[in-house]
């Protein structure tokens, strides 16, 4: 039994020695294995280059009146006996639009006319008396004091006539104030007065869109304020499909501190189907502008954000978010996020992940049809 034990002990010792000897050899074998090469995807690239592109700036906003005039009454406490226009009607400057009750004003004017006639008669009598006094004074039959009295009566009568004529003019003006006339030509945008209403002075009765001119108050981001100027042509479209041409009237000098937007006021060439208060958008032609462009196929979306894969010095593709602008043909403007001269992946960009190693090949020319 002891012999058996010694024999097995020697065997275990030999086996252990072989394992210990083989361990370094295995380790050495692992160190000598060649590192696996990183797989590379074949792609084509393009260089971000500056170009001059025709640019259009898109703005949205509300259609408003170029100049809205509020019509009210100068006199008060009178009843509207006629309302001659309604919303949407076109009126001419000076046209009668509302007639107020003028019974008292007409009576006052007749009274003023009578006072004028009386003052004229008094003046005529005083002038005749003055003429006789001057003749008698020249013949030596009238004293200077009597002549002075005749002259004073003539001057008083003349002043009385002037006062009567002024009172008549006032009465005539008050009568005319019962005729509400359009202060400008334009379209009636709203009407609040109705027949039988007692009108108060200064209260709003109607609103007129001066000359019927409308404009779009389009919101303009502060980054594009310097691109838009007065006089630039634009195309205005509405939600209901209406379209008209226009021109930028002005760009407001102030930017809202909360929203960081300004306003471009675009005059509509023809109102057409547009009405104040409607939502619309305008495409403003700002002319040729320098821009950094890449092929449109280089722009991909990751997590809902646009970006491009930029090739770094190691040949790895790195995703970078960008802001895009105008698209012209197969090219797209890169507003921010990319520098001139950087290489971006074009073909194969949609299959890449951030950090992938790539192999760049020349783009194959498209076959001619």
133: enclosing H helix or E strand: helix 103-139
**Alpha-carbon gap, residue 275 to 60, rounded angstroms:** 15
Give the pLDDT confidence of 286-312 residue by residue, as tens digits: 888 888 999 999 999 998 999 999 999
Give the pLDDT of residue 3: 42
Supply the DSSP symbol for 142: S
- Distance (Å, whole) CA 222 – CA 253: 11
| Confidence (pLDDT) at 364 | 64
| pLDDT at res. 127 | 93
Q: Where are the domains of the chain?
A: 42-53+290-360, 57-66+213-288, 69-98+182-212, 102-177
> What is the residue-level pLDDT of the chain in tens, covering all 369 positions?
444 445 545 545 444 444 444 444 444 444 444 445 556 788 999 999 998 888 888 899 999 998 999 999 998 899 999 999 999 999 999 999 999 999 999 999 999 999 999 999 999 999 999 999 999 989 988 899 998 999 999 999 999 999 999 999 999 999 999 999 999 999 999 999 999 999 999 899 999 999 999 999 999 888 788 889 999 999 999 877 789 999 999 998 888 888 888 999 999 998 888 888 899 999 999 888 888 999 999 999 998 999 999 999 888 999 999 988 878 888 888 988 999 999 999 998 989 899 999 988 886 655 555
Distance in angstroms (rounded) separating the CA atoms of residues 283 and 248: 11
Residue 241 burial by CB count (10 A; 0-12/13-18/19+): exposed, middle or buried?
exposed
Taking phi first (over 0 means left), then psi (-120 to 50 degrees means alpha), and beta for anything else, what does residue 320 get? beta
Pick from 63, 56, 57: which is nearest to 243 by CA? 63
Residues with Cβ < 8 Å from 57, sequence gap 6 or more?
220, 224, 227, 228, 283, 284, 286
Residue 283 — φ and ψ, nearest 5°? Answer: -110, 110
Cβ atoms of 296 and 265 within 8 Å: the answer is no
Consecutive H or E run containing 122: helix 103-139
For residue 336, what pLDDT is reported?
87
State which fold the 57-66+213-288 domain adopts.
Elongation Factor Tu (Ef-tu); domain 3 (2.40.30)
Residues 6+ apart with CB under 8 A from 160: 119, 122, 123
CB 29 within 8 A of CB 348: no
d(CA 189, CA 91): 11
What's the 3-state SS for 348-363?
Answer: CHHHCCCCCEEEECCC
> Which pLDDT value is given to residue 31?
46
227: its two tokens: 């691109």
CATH fold group of domain 102-177: Helix Hairpins (1.10.287)
Among residues 185, 183, 180, which one has the least CA distance to residue 89? 185
Q: What is the DSSP string of 52-117?
A: EEEEEEEEEEEEEESSEEEEEBSS-SEEEEEE---TT-EE-TT-EEEEE--HHHHHHHHHHHHHHH
Fold classified for 42-53+290-360:
2.40.420
**2.40.340.10, 1.20.58.1880, 3.40.630.30, 2.40.50.100: CATH of 69-98+182-212:** 2.40.50.100
Q: Can you give 251-312 as a three-state secondary structure string?
A: ECCCCCCCCCEEEEEEEECCCCCCCCCCEEEEEEEEEEEEEEEEEHHHCEEECCEEEEEEEC
Q: What is the pLDDT of residues 233-246, one digit of tens each?
A: 999 998 777 899 99
Q: What is the pLDDT of residue 226?
A: 86
The CA distance from 55 to 137, in Å, is 94
DSSP strand pairing (233-238 vs 300-302)? unpaired
């Amino acid at each position: 039994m002891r012999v058996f034990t010694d024999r097995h002990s020697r065997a275990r010792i030999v086996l252990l020695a072989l394992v210990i000897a083989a361990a370094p050899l295995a380790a050495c074998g692992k160190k000598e294995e060649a590192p696996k090469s990183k797989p590379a995807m074949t792609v084509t690239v393009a260089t971000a280059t500056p170009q001059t592109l025709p640019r259009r700036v898109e703005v949205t906003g509300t259609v408003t009146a170029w100049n809205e005039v509020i019509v009210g009454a100068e006199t008060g406490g009178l009843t509207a006996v006629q309302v001659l226009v309604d919303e949407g009607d076109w009126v001419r400057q000076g046209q009668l639009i509302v007639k107020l009750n003028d019974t008292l004003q007409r009576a006052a004017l007749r009274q003023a006319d009578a006072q004028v006639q009386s003052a004229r008669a008094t003046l005529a009598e005083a002038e005749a008396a003055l003429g006789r006094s001057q003749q008698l004074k020249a013949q030596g039959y009238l004293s200077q004091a009597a002549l002075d009295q005749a002259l004073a009566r003539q001057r008083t009568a003349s002043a009385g006539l002037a006062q009567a004529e002024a009172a008549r003019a006032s009465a005539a003006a008050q009568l005319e104030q019962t005729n509400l006339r359009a202060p400008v030509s334009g379209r009636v945008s709203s009407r609040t007065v109705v027949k039988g209403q007692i009108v108060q002075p200064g209260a709003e009765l109607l609103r007129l869109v001066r000359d019927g001119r409308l404009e779009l108050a389009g919101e303009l981001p502060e980054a594009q304020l310097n691109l838009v100027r007065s006089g630039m042509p634009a195309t205005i479209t509405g939600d209901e499909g209406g379209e008209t041409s226009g021109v930028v009237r002005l760009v407001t000098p102030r930017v809202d501190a909360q929203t960081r937007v300004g306003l471009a006021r675009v005059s509509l060439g023809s109102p057409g189907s547009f009405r104040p208060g409607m939502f619309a958008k305008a495409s403003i032609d700002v002319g040729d502008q320098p821009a950094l462009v890449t092929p449109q196929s280089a722009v991909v979306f990751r997590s809902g954000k646009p970006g491009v894969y930029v090739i770094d010095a190691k040949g790895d593709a790195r995703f970078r978010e960008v802001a895009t602008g105008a698209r012209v043909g197969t090219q797209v403007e890169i507003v921010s996020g990319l520098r001139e001269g950087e290489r971006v992946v074009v073909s194969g960009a949609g299959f890449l992940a951030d950090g992938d190693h790539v192999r760049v090949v020349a783009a194959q020319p498209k076959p001619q049809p």
